Chains A and B, each alone.
Chain A
């Protein structure tokens, strides 16, 4: 099956220092598939998600590469065209449920605004749809909840609402940026299960950003391992957990607790492995500078 989202040789850097934050990143998300994006904090996972959705921070600029959505390059599209493509085909499940809902607006309009203003639905249809999708993520009394403000709801409830909101317009691709990291461990499991369930039911492709390989094992079909803005390994989940190819991936896997042997001591990523990857990246940078 062809890729719904394809990123080719995407490089980005900080405007002021010129420091590279993405190094020729390539990855694919096939239609309806779940692609994991794994790496330590600061590896550039969010940066990739934000580049796809067109919400990079002002401080970051894309130097080269292509982001193809259904074969159309978002980076070459006119702003209005890009906004339309992203707005109608993608959605975001953000990391922090505390800041992802607008604190001064009621839940209902935060879900329906987009359906009405961007997709041109009738108001009544949008409201009905919002209630329906909220019920689907097990929000009790959706009509009542739609009249509440975010601070009147628990973190778990808010994350459910964000998931519902992301699926409301039936997007083809959802970027989930560490959607469970900010939650309690018990809630994490439920939310993960919910995302997985919704994804399967709606056939939505998912770009799933996380630093937790345990989560990847549960939800993803394939994954890309990111280190310092570089994809060091791209493979299927099965192959990865059987035998990771890159030393850094292997070390990362060794550093992840198995759910079977809880309490087993964790190996930090060995110094030697980090040095090796850093050298690889330095060489890469050097050749990039020579050519660019």
Chain B
């Protein structure tokens, strides 16, 4: 029993720290991009095209992870790409979380007509295939970062709404909620002060998951050229460009892909780790 718990704790701890470390690295890179980048992200030099990473023959000093076919530094563009990824993750993640959570709390706690309307809305929403929905939205809103964020929020609030509603409903049936109501607390106070703290671990896990999803969606939209302008460095855009020269210069594709993969994985793992850590029942 003790050993079991201990092992779970250790694993959760390693997960939290490893994913946290990578996310911290990404955040630092994004914030200090102009300071830490070895090159200019937009500078082209055809003479320096398709330079390999530093450990291979024919590499150039200063271009650590090589260059793309236009001679732009891969590492620098990845660092600037982290900015786009994080801005999207934060704004889309938080906005999705706020909207979905508010609706989920209301539906799960007040039930009745509010629950029926919100539930029906979620059902209708989920009937649309999300990728098609996203492309449709971008077509209407026009390309650009804010369109990407809006598209993610409009599509993904249902994920929060469904999970938060279920958990709120579950908590609402606990005796402690009855006790609070008997004591004379209002519904709103009961919802905010008693139920919300118990739903919070789930919300945090969903939020980080959503941030990971936002990063992927932005990458996909960049990949099909529906995100920020073509010149601006994004991981998805780099992957799209790298795909065309994968046999001549695999590094143009591989490094942003690895960054994308690690970031998305880290967001999910970080959320799980946080939940294990801060859920008082599991703690």
Contact = CB atoms under 8 A, between A and B. Distances in A.
Interface string B232-257: 00000000000000000000000000
A102 B175 CA distance: 9
Interface in A142-183: 149, 151, 165
Given A95-B175, A99-B174, A103-B198, A149 B182 contact: no
Interface in B152-179: 174-176, 178-179
A59 to B, nearest CB: 9
Contact of A99 (B112, B176, B197): B176
Contacts of B111: 58
Contact of B280 (A84, A92, A103, A165): A103
Interface centre among B176, B197, B200, B280 (most CB of A within 10 A): B176
Contacts, number: 73
A10 to B, nearest CB: 18
Contacts of B281: 103-104, 151
Interface in B189-206: 189, 193-194, 197-198, 200
B181 interface: yes
Given A102-B198, A105-B197, A118 B185 contact: yes
A243 to B, nearest CB: 37
Interface of B: 111-112, 174-176, 178-186, 189, 193-194, 197-198, 200, 280-281, 283
Given A55-B178, A87-B183, 15 more contacts: A54-B181, A55-B182, A86-B184, A87-B182, A87-B185, A90-B182, A91-B183, A92-B182, A99-B176, A100-B175, A102-B194, A104-B280, A104-B281, A105-B194, A114-B183
Interface of A: 50, 53-55, 58, 83-84, 86-88, 90-92, 94-96, 99-105, 110, 113-114, 117-118, 149, 151, 165
